[in-house]
Amino acid sequence: MFKFVVKRLIAMIPVVLAVTFVVFTIMWFVPGDPTNIILGNEWSEAASAKLKAELGLDQPFLVQFFHYTTNLVQGNFGMSYITRAPVAEQLMARFPNTLMVVAGAMLFCVGVGVPIGVYSGVRAYSLFSNFTMVVGLLGISFPIFWLGLLLILLFSVYLRWLPSSGLDDGFASLILPSLALGSNYMANIMRITRSSMLEVIRQDYIRTAKAKGVKARDVVVKHALQNSMMPTITVIGMDVGTLLGGVVLTETVFSIPGTGRLLVEAINKRDTPTVLGCLVIMAVCIAISNLMVDIVYAYVDPRIKAQYGGGKD
């Protein structure tokens, strides 16, 4: 198992590097002279040239990219053009908030989506199953930001149960953002789980288990569930990326000071190093989540583990 993880970790490096290169190249096209933004009223020809040399902005593209990545490896994301503080500091302050919202959404997706999916797969074509299918269909079409606004209207304006913005109230303030961000994916996971459960439940080995007299609950939990989990795990892993994209919207709706908001603010202020930092850290998160999916795959499906190191450790 250790060998497998290490192999996958090494395979992650070129991907992250390539994504960084793509983002860096796109940001290279940002128009205007960054020294205008940094110096503001103090701008002069000489000061601009001096600052450019200091920041390495007068170097060729590839050299700049090389410097950027070598700094990145050491945890240095560069300096913000606006606040002149290290980007890493801002990211450290904001990223945990984003992580909390994503984790909350994830918990909601998996915690609600999988059990409902399994149940409506086992009891296919029942009233409950049909109802969840309709909910799933509506759920995947709901725009995150509109759902967020509707949740605020219902739960904080009319019912006054939950706070509508910020993260000051701890757990309570995480509920609405997680619901808004997670509902799309919850619906998706529910649908996928249901359809793969439907497929598995018709297999011969399920009938064999039933014929042996295994309890109905054990048939589902021990036989069907493990074999139907692969598509669900894939979707859960893929959704981490989509969740991180959606977090930009959720943080805007609920005024949460996270990476998504930082990204939007930085784009509006043309603060390129901050934009880059936000995008890179999100790409790294996505790469890590893909890695985790692969590891979970190996746990669930022994055939994959067997390919690496014979499944011993």
Partner 1 sequence: MDETVKKYTTRREFFKQYKKKSRLQETWNRFLRNKLAVIGLFIIVFIMLAAVAAPLIANYDTDAIRINVPDRLQSPSAKHIFGTDEVGRDIMARIVHGARISLVVGCAAIAVALFIGGALGAIAGYSGGKIDDVIMRCMDVFLCLPDVLLALAIVAAFGTNLVNLTVAIGLAFTPKFSRVVRSAVMTVRGVEYVEAARTIGATNTQIITNHVLINCFGPIMVQVTLYVASAILTIAALSFIGLGIQAPIPEWGNMLASGRVYMRDHAYIVMAPGLAIFLTILSLNLLGDGLRDALDPRLK
Residues that bind partner 1 (CB under 8 A): 15, 18-19, 22-23, 26-31, 137-138, 140-146, 149-150, 152-153, 157, 241-242, 244-246, 248-249, 252-253, 263-264, 267-268, 275, 279, 282-283, 286-287
Q: Which is nearer to partner 1, 69 or 300 (CB)?
A: 69
- With beta carbons less than 8 A apart as the criterion, state whether 238 and 214 touch: no
In whole angstroms, the minimum distance from the beta carbon of 165 to partner 1 comes to 11
Burial class (CB in 10 A: 0-12, 13-18, 19+), 104: buried
Q: Which is nearer to partner 1, 105 or 225 (CB)?
A: 105
In whole angstroms, the minimum distance from the beta carbon of 186 to partner 1 comes to 16
Q: Which is nearer to partner 1, 29 or 171 (CB)?
A: 29
Residues 6+ apart with CB under 8 A from 46: none
Triad 98, 292, 65: Cα angle to 5°: 65
- With beta carbons less than 8 A apart as the criterion, state whether 109 and 95 touch: no
- With beta carbons less than 8 A apart as the criterion, state whether 65 and 276 touch: no
User: In 142-170, which ranges are continuous DSSP H helix?
Assistant: 144-151
Rounded Cα distance, 309 and 311, in Å: 6
Q: Which is nearer to partner 1, 225 or 276 (CB)?
A: 276
In whole angstroms, the minimum distance from the beta carbon of 78 to partner 1 comes to 16
Give the Å distances, CA to CA, from 34 to 2, 136, 273. 46, 47, 10
In whole angstroms, the minimum distance from the beta carbon of 211 to partner 1 comes to 28
Return the structure tokens found at 299: 């746990």
Q: Which is nearer to partner 1, 62 or 211 (CB)?
A: 62
Q: Which is nearer to partner 1, 76 or 195 (CB)?
A: 195
In whole angstroms, the minimum distance from the beta carbon of 196 to partner 1 comes to 14
In whole angstroms, the minimum distance from the beta carbon of 104 to partner 1 comes to 18
* Residue 308: Cβ within 10 Å count: 16
